Amino acid sequence: MADLRSNFAGIKSTNPFWLASAPPTDKEYNVRRAFEAGWGGVVWKTLGSEGPPVVNVNGPRYGAIFGADRRLLGLNNIELITDRPLQQNLREIKAVKKDYPDRAVVVSLMVPCEEEAWKAILPVVEETGADGIELNFGCPHGMAERGMGAAVGQVPEYIEMVTRWCKQNTRMPVIVKLTPNITNIVHPAEAALRGGADAVSLINTINSITSVNLDAMCPEPMIDGKGTHGGYCGPAVKPIAMNMVAEIARHGETANLPISAIGGVTTWRDAAEFMALGAGNVQVCTAVMTYGFRIIEEMTAGLSAWMDEKGYSSTDDFSGKAVPNVTDWQYLNLNHVTKARIDQDACISCGRCYAACEDTSHQAITMSEDRVFDVDDSECVACNLCVNVCPVEGCITMETLEPGAMDERTNTPVSPDYGNWTQHPNNPSATAAE
């Protein structure tokens, strides 16, 4: 049986599934329920400085997009950091940590970009017995206008500076949470590393408008006739988050920086994929906000069963295993030739592959009078669109042509050699293959 215990940047937890800093971790009541349900850790919803707490809107805070049957695919929010008094949060954190010593309790922080502010809050957090802190440099709304959250996260120099302040003023591990609302995720990650961060976590939410009320002519969620951009999360953002995780994991300087992956983790499989791309653990929010805490049972059981099947005894065994296979386009093997193949027994003759290929791609699928669909190898560029639009899983697949086989599209035999763009004759700056 696989061992799911996790040690992330020195923070131990019973499994690699943490709850992300968000409404589910805003108070003791929720966090106790989460731990009872089996969550390995939480990142407590972001605390601010001592003083009057922030205020939230009193209208809707969330907007969503849905798939069929109202399956929630993407959620955005305009909620701010905790609106409860600092001392109350600290008391609750301390009580919870005391009762659940084997779970990770990390505290998310966001205070003004001044060293004094950080110096003030770090000791009181440390005093709770929390396992670490997460610097919220990502929150894209409300706090950014006050010079915090994403306003810091979008400026690598600020990230480095604040991270350094924290490292100098606490013994707790420091996780820097990154905003995706930037051009290149590697730059803020490098800044965090320079500042001495123990780890990064990403992604925070993405600036978004989920829908527009066409009667009121206003973005949703609508507050008294006005809307604002919110932070987007949930299954829809997972591909974006995975790319950013992979970019940090395969980048020379940041390659060894522990990553806590966030962004649309909904089932065990999402966690496995993020961890394969270099994450040490994952944080979950939208999935529990949609289905409740009990989903952790599926996640731990699924991950454990998959690890057993693959022979992985701990999460370290597979964490980062896909990273060497993430490369730049220019290194992809241009001599690798595949062709679409349609399994006629599985085909239900819907013709979607035909419509897609004929209307929008390469006219490489033929249709007979009695609705038999075939691939014309002389036109097929193996784009995979037919595979993606086919409603029957496994019906259309890509067959690899063996070296020496004729590619009917190019009328050349498939080369046995690896050949990429850097070596290609059409590339003006190509280097010789030898």
Partner 1 sequence: MPNSQMTPGIVPARLEKGAYEDNFSDLHPGYASHEALVAADRCYFCHDAPCTTACPTDIDIPMFIRQIQAGMPDEAAKTILSQNILGGMCARVCPTETLCEEVCVRETAEGKPVEIGRLQRFATDNLMSHADQPFVRAASTGKKIAVVGAGPAGLSCAHRLATHGHDVDMFDGRDKAGGLNEFGIAAYKSTNDFAAREVEWLMSIGGISLSYSKRLGENLDLATLQGDYDAVFLSIGLSGVNALRADGEDKNGVRDAVDFIADLRQADEFRDLPVGRNVVVIGGGMTAVDAAVQSKLLGADSVTISYRRTRDKMGASGFEQDLAAVHGVRILENTQPKRVLGNGKCEGIELEYTSDDGSGLKGTGEVVTLPADQIFKAIGQTLGDTPEGLKLEGRKIAVNDNGATSVNGVWAGGDCATGGDDLTVTAVAEGRDAAEDINKSLMG
Catalytic residues: 139
Site membership for partner 1, residue 69 (CB under 8 A): yes
Instruction: Report the C-alpha gap between 367 and 354 in whole angstroms.
Output: 7
Q: Which is nearer to partner 1, 120 or 356 (CB)?
A: 356
Instruction: Report the C-alpha gap between 122 and 312 in whole angstroms.
Output: 38
The CB-of-352 to partner 1 minimum distance in angstroms stands at 6
Quick one: which of 216, 332, 348, 430 contacts partner 1 (CB under 8 A)?
Answer: 348
The CB-of-61 to partner 1 minimum distance in angstroms stands at 24
Q: In the structure encoding, which two tokens stand for residue 415, read together?
A: 């080369």
Largest CA distance in the chain: 77
What's the N-to-C CA distance of the chain in angstroms?
A: 48
Q: Which is nearer to partner 1, 11 or 390 (CB)?
A: 390
Which segment (16-24, 64-72, 200-208, 266-274) binds partner 1 by CB under 8 A? 64-72
Q: Which is nearer to partner 1, 55 or 214 (CB)?
A: 214
Using an 8 Å Cβ cutoff, are 281 and 17 in contact?
Answer: yes
Site for partner 1 in 409-428 (CB under 8 A): none
Which segment (34-42, 255-263, 264-272, 348-356) binds partner 1 by CB under 8 A? 348-356
Using an 8 Å Cβ cutoff, are 98 and 312 in contact?
Answer: no
| Residue whose structure tokens are 């991950």 | 303
| The length of the chain, given as a count of residues | 434
Q: Which is nearer to partner 1, 68 or 217 (CB)?
A: 68
Q: In the structure encoding, which two tokens stand for residue 347, read together?
A: 């085909």
Quick one: which of 70, 217, 311, 416 contacts partner 1 (CB under 8 A)?
Answer: 70
Dihedral sign computed on CA atoms, order 413, 426, 397, 305: positive
CA atoms within 13 A on the CB side of 210: 25
Quick one: which of 182, 223, 323, 367 contacts partner 1 (CB under 8 A)?
Answer: 367
Which segment (66-74, 119-127, 223-231, 306-314) binds partner 1 by CB under 8 A? 66-74
Instruction: Report the C-alpha gap between 304 and 313 in whole angstroms.
Output: 9
Neighbours of 357 (CB within 10 A): 25
Neighbours of 304 (CB within 10 A): 17
Q: Show the CA angle centred on residue 316, arms to residues 310 and 319, nearest 5°.
A: 75
Q: Which is nearer to partner 1, 129 or 351 (CB)?
A: 351
Which segment (63-71, 129-137, 180-188, 252-260) binds partner 1 by CB under 8 A? 63-71
The CB-of-346 to partner 1 minimum distance in angstroms stands at 9
The CB-of-358 to partner 1 minimum distance in angstroms stands at 8
Site for partner 1 in 370-399 (CB under 8 A): 371, 391-392
The CB-of-210 to partner 1 minimum distance in angstroms stands at 16
Site for partner 1 in 111-170 (CB under 8 A): none
Q: Which is nearer to partner 1, 265 or 380 (CB)?
A: 380
The CB-of-396 to partner 1 minimum distance in angstroms stands at 14
Instruction: Determine the size of the site formed for partner 1 (CB under 8 A).
Output: 14
Site for partner 1 in 200-259 (CB under 8 A): none
Please, which residues have CB within 8 angstroms of residue 148's CB and are 6 or more apart in sequence? 110, 111, 112, 113, 136, 139
3-state secondary structure of 406: strand
Which segment (22-30, 114-122, 288-296, 351-359) binds partner 1 by CB under 8 A? 351-359
The CB-of-150 to partner 1 minimum distance in angstroms stands at 34
63 φψ region: left (φ > 0), alpha (ψ -120 to 50), beta (else): beta
Which segment (55-63, 67-75, 92-100, 401-409) binds partner 1 by CB under 8 A? 67-75
Quick one: which of 182, 355, 381, 398 contacts partner 1 (CB under 8 A)?
Answer: 355
Exposure class string for 118-149: b at 16+ Cβ within 10 A, else e: beebbeebeebebbbbbbbbbbbbbbbeeebb
Quick one: which of 354, 375, 377, 380 contacts partner 1 (CB under 8 A)?
Answer: 354
| Residue whose structure tokens are 């897609």 | 356
Q: In the structure encoding, which two tokens stand for residue 418, read together?
A: 């690896």
Q: In the structure encoding, which two tokens stand for residue 155, read together?
A: 């400026």
Footprint on this chain of partner 1 (rule: CB under 8 A): 68-70, 348-352, 354-355, 367, 371, 391-392
